[in-house]
Amino acid sequence: MERIPKHIGVIPDGNRRWATKNGLKKEEGYAYGLEPGLRLLQAAKRRGVRELTYYGFTVDNCKRPKEQVSAFSGACSEAVKMIGGEAASLYVVGNTQSERFPKDLLPYTSRAEEKEGDSVRVNFLVNYGWEWDMKNGWASRGIPRVDLVIRWGGMRRLSGFLPIQTVYSDIYVVDDLWPDFREEQLDRALQWYRKQDVTLGG
Amino acid sequence: MERIPKHIGVIPDGNRRWATKNGLKKEEGYAYGLEPGLRLLQAAKRRGVRELTYYGFTVDNCKRPKEQVSAFSGACSEAVKMIGGEAASLYVVGNTQSERFPKDLLPYTSRAEEKEGDSVRVNFLVNYGWEWDMKNGWASRGIPRVDLVIRWGGMRRLSGFLPIQTVYSDIYVVDDLWPDFREEQLDRALQWYRKQDVTLGG
């Protein structure tokens, strides 16, 4: 039987670089990251993945210029609603106590009951911060261990993505920028993952 | 000016695979990982690195067959003394409450005063566990943020290596096995690191 990761963490990096490359303003890049998120979810579902966690935006990200903050925050809200519509269960985790947290996402911050069927659980990190997570006694503990992290945009780092859930994760980096998502990138990641052995540190 | 990581985390993986490849018993591989550790330290020092943290062995590792546990535990003790002799400051972090912790390393579990000179600080994780670290209110907090993690042996994962200090680390993977360490691997890692930009999530 094929070895498929149960839970994939998604770091959709490179929206701003993509915008610059395509003659747009940096903050215009985020809108182009929505539809890839939906296509990734659909492709992952067809391949038997049971859970996805998207790195929406972080407390750290909010130090950026305000046009960017407003753009990614808006894109993130849209993504949650659009992508979440396809999910069996939708769960948003982040610091809701700050005004950066999009109010329209508050209804998703407790785990919903799962709908019937063989669909995918989807989690979004929204106004998330690893320090916030740790200081609040592992606030993200409702999200299980991540088997495979796929990061777009070429950087080989986790950038604060769920430090506890990723301690044993295999990390696969796609050099292409996130708005250039193609299904074959997922397939290559899954192909690579198949060859890794799970030791959980043993 | 060249951009050199101040603090490198070292995951010296692949000793057992190296042993098997060379017709030895798995547990015989660890002894071949000592001298590479010393050479890496000397090479890093010459290149201006100020601090190294070696992933010695973990609580998880101790689930392995007892010949292996005894072999890596012994190799680790030796490494600390051999490599530590070259260091400005030597610091061992791990669960000292368990009998797996080598008694002869107890004297190194508090941070020593630094010797004079432009030498390197060296930390060793010995009978370390990320769960132990977290449960004890971040027991490893005496070790600062890691700029670059270099992992030998081809795996693309952190395997519980200092989850908090590595949230922003760039991660470089060397496919060769640890006992096959060569200085040019370090140079390639440093060359790659130079091209990464530090954003600390911003």
> Could you give the percent of chain A with pLDDT greater than 70?
98
SS3 content of chain B, % helix, strand, coil (to 5): 40, 20, 45
Which of B156, B159, B164, B165 is most worth mutating to test chain A (most A CB atoms within 10 A of its CB)? B156
Instruction: Name every residue whose Cβ is closer than 8 Å to that of residue A109 and which is 6 or more positions away in sequence.
Output: A91, A92, A93, A94, A96
Neighbours of A178 (CB within 10 A): 25
Q: How far is B57 from chain A (nearest CA, A)?
A: 10
| Domain map (residue ranges) of chain A | 7-194
What is the predicted pLDDT for the residue at B116? 65
- DSSP letter at A181 equals -
Sole residue written with tokens 């669909």: A119
- Is residue B168 over pLDDT 80? yes
Sort A10 into a burial class: Cβ within 10 Å, 0-12 / 13-18 / 19+: buried
> For residue A53, what are the β-bridge partners?
A9, A123
* pLDDT for residue B200: 75
Confidence of residue B117 (pLDDT cuts 50, 70, 90): low
Instruction: Give the Cα separation of B166 and A158 in Å (integer).
Output: 8
Cβ separation of A159 and B64 shorter than 8 Å? no
Residue whose C-alpha is closest to residue B145's, from B92, B188, B198: B198
Report strand pairing: A7-12 vs A148-152.
Answer: parallel
Reported as type and span, the H/E element at residue B172 is strand B170-174
pTM: 0.95
pLDDT at residue A202 tops 90: no
Asked if A94 and A111 count as a contact pair (C-beta separation under 8 A), the reply is no
Q: For B113-152, give the DSSP string.
A: PPPSSS--EEEEEEEE-HHHHHHTTSTTTTS---SEEEEE
Are B163 and A168 within 8 A, CB to CB?
no
Nearest CA in chain A to B159: A168
Predicted confidence at residue A118, as pLDDT, reads 62
Q: What is the average per-residue pLDDT within A101-125?
A: 86
| A79/A32 Cα distance (integer angstroms) | 11
* A7-194 under CATH 3.40.1180.10, yes or no: yes
CB-based contact A64 B134, cutoff 8 Å:
no
CB B79 within 8 A of CB B125: no
pLDDT of residue B88: 78
Band of residue A137 on the pLDDT scale cut at 50, 70, 90? very high
* pLDDT digits 0-9 by tens, B44-67: 999 999 999 999 999 999 999 999
Q: Check whether B162 has a pLDDT greater than 80.
A: yes
- Strands B51-58 and B7-12, how do they pair? parallel
Phi, psi of A99 (to 5 degrees): -70, -10
Q: Distance between CA atoms of A174 and B148, rounded to whole angstroms?
A: 19
Predicted local distance difference test score (pLDDT) of residue A200:
75
pLDDT of B104 over the 90 cut: yes
Tokens standing for residue A129: 């911060």
Q: Cβ distance B169 to B147 under 8 Å?
A: yes
Residue of chain B nearest A63, judged by CA positions: B202
Q: How confident is the model at residue B10 (pLDDT cuts 50, 70, 90)?
A: very high
Contact A98, A30 (CB under 8 A): no
Helix ranges, chain B (H): 15-21, 34-46, 66-84, 130-135, 183-194
A160-164 mean pLDDT: 98
Q: Do A6 and A49 meet the contact criterion of CB atoms below 8 Å apart? A: yes
Reference A123, options A151, A146, A157; nearest CA is A146
User: Left (φ > 0), alpha (ψ -120 to 50) or beta: where does B100 sit?
Assistant: alpha
State both tokens at B63: 């689930």
Q: What is the pLDDT of residues B127-156, one digit of tens each?
A: 999 999 999 999 999 999 999 999 999 999
Q: What is the mean pLDDT of residues B102-124?
A: 85
**How far is B20 from A73, CA to CA, in rounded Å?**
52
Contacts of A60 in chain B (CB under 8 A): 200-202
Q: How far is B53 from chain A (nearest CA, A)?
A: 17
Question: pLDDT tens for residues A12-70?
Answer: 999 999 999 999 999 999 999 999 999 999 999 999 999 999 999 999 999 999 999 99
Determine the distance in angstroms separating the CA of A111 from the nearest CA of chain B, rounded to an integer: 25
For residue B114, the model assigns a pLDDT of 72
